[in-house]
Amino acid sequence: GAVVSQHPSRVICKSGTSVKIECRSLDFQATTMFWYRQFPKKSLMLMATSNEGSKATYEQGVEKDKFLINHASLTLSTLTVTSAHPEDSSFYICSARGFLHNEQFFGPGTRLTVL
- Cα(32)–Cα(21) distance, rounded to whole angstroms? 17
Judged by CB under 8 A, which of 7, 20, 22, 49 binds other proteins? 49
* Distances, alpha carbon 15 to alpha carbons 11, 86, 94, in Å: 12, 7, 23
Indicate the burial class of 76 (C-beta count within 10 angstroms; 0-12, 13-18, 19 or more).
Answer: middle
60 or 102: CB nearest other proteins: 102
Q: Tell whether residue 107 is a contact of other proteins (CB under 8 A).
A: yes
Binding segment for other proteins (CB under 8 A), chosen from 13-21, 40-48, 61-69, 76-84, is 40-48
Binding segment for other proteins (CB under 8 A), chosen from 11-19, 61-69, 71-79, 101-109, is 101-109
